[in-house]
Amino acid sequence: MTGYIPRIDLDSLVAIDVHTHITASVTGAKDEVAEGMAGYFGKSDLGDGTLPALAAYYRARNMAAVTFPVDLGPDGDDMTISNEEIAELAIDHSDAVIPFASVHPARGETGLALAEKLITEYGVRGFKFHPNTQGFFPNDPIAYPLYELLQSHGIPALFHSGQAGTGAGTKGGGGIRLKYSNPIHLDDVAADFPDLPMVIAHPSFPWQEEALAVATHKAQVYIDLSGWSPKYFPPILIQYANTLLKDRMLFGSDFPMITPDRWIADLEKTGIRDEVKPGILKDNAIRFFGLDRGSAGTAGSS
């Protein structure tokens, strides 16, 4: 098969949303985890939720979107929306969608083989890790063979950080533990894999300063600003977005929980400077994903 190759028109591009979710398979199956998160974000309707619908939504706005599933591991349920479905559908929507995959570190050698196939045959452009729902510390050696593989291919790893919408407000938080998502654990990963492009996802409440410290200290670490309206960003995050980390901040909405329209409108209600905004909205992501070096560029340049 011919794998995914991005065909994004950079000249007309308004923004790249580096953090979106597919909530339904084209088979009609719904992602129950996403359905549960919807209540936390005050969403009563997640819409169609499929990748073709996501592509149409972002194409209409002259935007591109990174999207991914989350693999809950060998002891979890089968993935409602599989890595293969996302990668295959993204091929037909490569003007608007950048596919990431997810492989739980506990899958071991089987997971490594799957990740290799997803990269070399399907052409996925990155991997999503969600330490809370996957139940592991990012610096656990169990994940290191997977990071080694990603590093060897120049493929980025994106890590959920901070408070989790999944399980929020339920009895015992659904058994999900927040301790796994403190971004300080990513400092070890960044030190041990200096050529692994990394993204710390979300304003990392309540560990914002840890995230900023890691990104400031480790040059290959970026921060995506998804999951929060910008008008609620803490002052220290705005300070770093305007200064030391202005070239490594990325626009992300967490769509469909937050729409890109709302996020961008609320960006105007912040102290983030106008000259910094183009980088956050698209230029930093273009460089990170290597889109400025042609359609087959490798992620992670900085």
Residue 301 lies in a domain: no
pLDDT in tens, 70-123: 999 988 767 889 999 999 999 999 999 999 999 999 999 999 999 999 999 999
Q: Is the pLDDT of residue 170 over 90?
A: no
Q: How many percent of the chain have pLDDT more than 90?
A: 81
Residue 65 lies in a domain: yes
Residue 105 lies in a domain: yes
pLDDT averaged over every residue in the chain: 91
The residue-averaged pLDDT of 175-190 equals 96
Residue 254 lies in a domain: yes
Q: Is the pLDDT of residue 31 over 90?
A: no
- What pLDDT score was predicted for residue 80? 84
- What pLDDT score was predicted for residue 32? 58
Strand order in the sheet with 198-201: 127-129, 157-160, 198-201, 221-224, 249-250
Separation CA 53–CA 35 (nearest Å): 17
Residue 265 lies in a domain: yes
Q: How many domains does the chain have?
A: 1
Residue 278 lies in a domain: yes
Residue 96 lies in a domain: yes
Q: Which of 198, 199, 208 is nearest to 228 (CA)?
A: 208
The CATH number for 270's domain is 3.20.20.140
CB atoms within 10 A of CB 295: 11
Residue 220 lies in a domain: yes
Token pair 């929060």 in the structure block, residue: 228
CB 103 within 8 A of CB 146: yes
pLDDT in tens, 127-159: 999 999 999 999 999 999 999 999 999 999 999
- Going 19 to 24 to 25 to 26, the CA torsion angle's sign is negative
DSSP per-residue letters across 145-183: HHHHHHHHHT--EEEE-SS-STTTTSGGGGG--GGGG-T
Q: How far is C-alpha 285 from the chain's CA centre?
A: 12
Q: Provide the residue range defining the domain that includes 179.
A: 15-293
